[in-house]
């Protein structure tokens, strides 16, 4: 086997490592988010809304790197759970704004411990997590340190 052959080994593939890591990250979050009543994709929606709400569905989807057609069912489920509301914009009736309910704002307090629990589950500190996140920035479409 040559060095070139090693390039095609499954365990040497970046894509395989990333897919496997992504699947494992979601599995780590699942029991942490379960008491909050959130799935991992719903948690990402809530994180974006805790940063800025109300906001248009298209804007929310763009920040989450999702198509609006993918974000919409997530928002509808969060609305059914009483955490968000969808409202037509007063400025533009074609635009659907997503806003937090009182319950959605209150859930933020319960979620404050999620990052610490994730760090404990993987045995990494904040600096290690930040370095890993920044190292993936070229693949995530963001520059290092960009929020």
Instruction: Sketch the domain layout of the chain as residue ranges.
Output: 29-111
Beta-bridge partners for 84: 100
pLDDT over threshold 80, residue 76: yes
Neighbours of 42 (CB within 10 A): 19
- Domain spanning 29-111, CATH architecture: Orthogonal Bundle (1.10)
Looking at per-residue pLDDT, the higher value among 91 and 118 belongs to 118
**Which pLDDT does position 90 carry in this prediction?**
81
**pLDDT value of residue 139:** 85
Tens of pLDDT along 34-59? 999 999 999 999 999 999 999 999 99
What are the CA-CA distances from residue 119 to residues 14, 47, 53, 70, 116 (Å)?
Answer: 23, 17, 27, 28, 5
Q: What percent of the chain has pLDDT over 90?
A: 79
With tokens 């248009």, the residue in question is: 56
Helix (H) / strand (E) element for 106: namely helix 102-111
Query: What is the rounded CA–CA span in Å between residue 68 and residue 61?
Result: 5
Q: What is the pTM of this model?
A: 0.88
The β-bridge relationship of strands 84-88 and 55-56 is unpaired
Please tell me the predicted confidence (pLDDT) of residue 34.
Answer: 98
Helix H or strand E encompassing 98? strand 96-100
């Amino acid at each position: 086997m040559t060095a070139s052959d090693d390039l095609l080994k499954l365990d040497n593939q970046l894509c395989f490592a990333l897919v496997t890591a992504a699947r494992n990250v979601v599995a780590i979050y699942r029991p942490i988010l379960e008491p909050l009543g959130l799935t991992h994709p719903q948690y990402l929606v809530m994180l974006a809304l805790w940063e800025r709400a109300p906001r248009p569905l298209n804007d929310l989807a763009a920040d989450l790197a999702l198509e609006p057609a993918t974000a919409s069912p997530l928002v509808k489920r969060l609305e059914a759970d009483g955490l968000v509301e969808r409202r037509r914009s007063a400025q533009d009736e074609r635009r659907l704004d997503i806003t937090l309910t009182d319950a959605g704002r209150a859930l933020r307090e319960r979620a404050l411990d999620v990052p610490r629990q994730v760090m404990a589950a993987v045995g990494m500190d904040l600096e290690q997590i930040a370095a890993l996140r920044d190292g993936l920035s070229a693949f995530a479409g963001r520059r290092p340190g960009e929020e």
